[in-house]
């Protein structure tokens, strides 16, 4: 009897254990996981470079359409070379097939710029600028910041196994605002007066180039109308200045080089900067003007604000309501601005 009971108990235990067994299929080694992770990081970097390039192209199209009289930050245009470079890391090496471990690599050449016309290409390694050997990105931009409109720039560039020399002359642009991206899913954008900053959340939320233009144009208007200087008495936070000159390596998002920066420290200060409601109204007005002048769909301002309020109502209350005009006011005002812009254009064509 005891033997039968033991057998029954044993069989019951086996049945229970067998019922808990999970079928997972083939095993995956840690090495395989690590290798796949590295490959995905490279693909993510390629995707992010594409996002940054699109945002910069849209910004440059907006900039070229801004009438000089709409810019209050200065009386003269700014020097423009049109090249975006980043420090070489192991991920950028894989993207562009680079053999050097250190240095500065061209990632974006801005359209219709001296760098574009001179033939600089993504993947070019900048060896020297005006006979000064380049070691890192901060040194590279430190040299460029000292140059003026009309100055000659000679770059020694390593392209594959070939060394070439590229001559460029700095030209003028109404306002020169490079775009930086943050590795944050919050839907937000900002400016420190010298650069534009967008989160990946913004680029993921927007549905078209017109919507991206609407977001960037609003921040561009803050910069062009001098709102940052007026709100801060002409002083920029040291952290924001550091940010505009290039983020240090330990702020980088894993696997993204300097293309996308982490949303820490300086980002919190940047994206919580407050303007008066009248400055926000002015940025909506001039942002719409910039979008319309650049040939983007100006009506998208209204639909974007409506969709933003519907899909992210909580963030609107927490992040915007206290410093911005209410969403209904902005939506209605932007609709009227769009109607006025289109009406003025039609009146001009009918003359």
DSSP per residue over 205-240, as a string? H--SHHHHHHHHHHHHHHHHTTHHHHHHTT---HHH
pLDDT (mean) for 240-258: 44
pLDDT at 48 over 50: yes
List phi, psi (to 5°) of 196. -110, 145
Q: Binning pLDDT at 50, 70 and 90, where does residue 247 land?
A: very low
Average pLDDT, stretch 134-149?
Answer: 92
CA separation for the pair 220, 287 (Å, rounded): 7
Query: Which of these ranges, 97-106, 169-178, 311-320, 335-344, has the smallest mean pLDDT?
Result: 311-320
120 vs 322, higher pLDDT:
120
* Tally: H helices and E strands in the chain: 14, 12
pLDDT of 178 above 60? yes
What is the pLDDT at residue 321? Answer: 47
Looking at residue 235, its pLDDT comes to 39
What three-state secondary structure class fits 197?
Answer: strand
Per residue in 215-232, pLDDT (tens digit) is 999 999 999 998 877 776
Distance, CA of 182 to chain centre: 7
Q: What is the pLDDT of residue 233?
A: 47
Torsion-angle region of 108 (φ positive above 0: left; ψ -120 to 50: alpha; else: beta): beta
The string of pLDDT tens digits covering residues 254-297 is 556 677 766 555 555 666 666 778 888 999 999 999 999 999 99
As a whole number of Å, the end-to-end CA separation of the chain is 110
Q: What is the pLDDT of residue 132?
A: 96
Pick from 167, 180, 176: which is nearest to 259 by CA?
180
pLDDT at 171 over 60: yes
| pLDDT 10s digits, 7-17 | 665 656 555 55
**pLDDT of 259:** 77
Residue 188 has pLDDT above 50, yes or no: yes
Query: Does 244 score more than 60 pLDDT?
Result: no
Residue 152 to residue 141: CA distance in whole angstroms: 15
Angle between helix axes 300-311 and 327-350 (nearest 10 degrees) is 170
Give the residue, 37 or 345, on which the prediction is more confident. 37
> Picking from 77-81, 180-184, 322-326, which range would have the lowest pLDDT averaged per residue?
322-326
Residue with tokens 């900067």: 273
What does the pLDDT average to over 48-54? Answer: 94
Across the chain, mean pLDDT equals: 82
The DSSP code sequence of 255-288 is: TSTTTEEE-STHHHHHHT----HHHHHHHHHHHH
> Is the per-residue pLDDT at 309 higher than 90?
no
Among 60-74, 206-220, 321-335, the minimum mean pLDDT is found in 321-335
**Confidence band for 214, pLDDT divided at 50, 70 and 90:** very high
Long-range pairs for 95-103 at CB < 8 Å and ≥24 separation? 95/42, 95/45, 95/46, 95/49, 95/123, 96/122, 96/123, 97/123, 98/123, 98/125, 100/125, 100/158, 102/135, 102/136, 103/127, 103/134, 103/135, 103/136
Task: Please report, for the chain, the start and end positions of each structural domain, with discontinuous segments joined by +.
Answer: 78-173, 179-350
Q: Model pTM?
A: 0.82
What pLDDT does residue 257 have?
Answer: 64
Question: How many residues can be counted in the chain?
Answer: 351
The predicted pLDDT at position 248 comes to: 33
For the residues 144-161, what does the mean pLDDT come to?
Answer: 95
Question: Stretch 305-313: mean pLDDT, rounded?
Answer: 81
- Quick one: fold of 78-173? Pdz3 Domain (2.30.42)
pLDDT grade for 71, boundaries at 50, 70 and 90: confident
- Residue 304: pLDDT above 80? yes
């Amino acid at each position: 009897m005891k033997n039968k009971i033991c057998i029954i108990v044993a069989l019951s235990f086996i049945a229970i254990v067998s019922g808990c067994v999970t079928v997972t299929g083939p095993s995956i080694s840690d090495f395989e996981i690590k290798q796949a992770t590295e490959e995905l990081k490279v693909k993510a970097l390629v995707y992010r470079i594409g996002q940054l390039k699109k945002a910069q192209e849209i910004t440059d199209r907006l900039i070229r359409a801004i009438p000089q009289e709409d810019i209050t930050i200065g009386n003269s245009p700014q020097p423009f070379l049109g090249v975006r470079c980043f420090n070489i890391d192991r991920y950028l090496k894989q993207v562009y097939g680079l053999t050097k471990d250190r240095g500065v690599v061209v990632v974006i050449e801005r359209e219709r710029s001296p760098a574009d016309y001179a033939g600089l290409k993504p993947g070019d390694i900048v060896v020297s600028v005006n006979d000064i050997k380049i070691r890192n990105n901060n040194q590279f931009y430190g040299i460029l910041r000292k140059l003026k409109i009309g100055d000659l720039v000679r770059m020694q560039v390593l392209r594959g196994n070939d060394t070439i020399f590229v001559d460029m002359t700095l030209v003028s642009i109404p306002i020169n605002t490079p775009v930086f991206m943050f590795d944050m899913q919050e839907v937000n954008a900002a400016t420190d007066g010298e650069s534009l900053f967008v989160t990946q959340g913004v680029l993921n939320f927007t549905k078209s180039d017109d919507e991206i233009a609407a977001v960037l144009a609003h921040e561009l208007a803050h910069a062009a109308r001098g709102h940052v200087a007026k709100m801060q008495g002409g002083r920029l936070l040291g952290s924001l200045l550091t940010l505009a000159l290039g983020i240090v390596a330990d702020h980088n998002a894993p696997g993204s080089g300097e293309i996308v920066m982490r949303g820490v420290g300086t980002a919190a200060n940047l994206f919580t900067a407050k303007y008066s409601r009248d400055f926000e109204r002015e940025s909506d007005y001039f942002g719409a003007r910039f979008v319309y002048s650049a040939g983007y769909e100006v009506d998208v301002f209204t639909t974007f604000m409506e969709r933003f309020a519907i899909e992210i109502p909580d963030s609107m209350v927490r992040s915007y309501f206290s410093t911005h005009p209410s969403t209904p006011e902005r939506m209605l005002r932007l609709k009227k601005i769009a109607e006025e812009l289109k009406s003025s254009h039609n009146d001009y064509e009918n003359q």
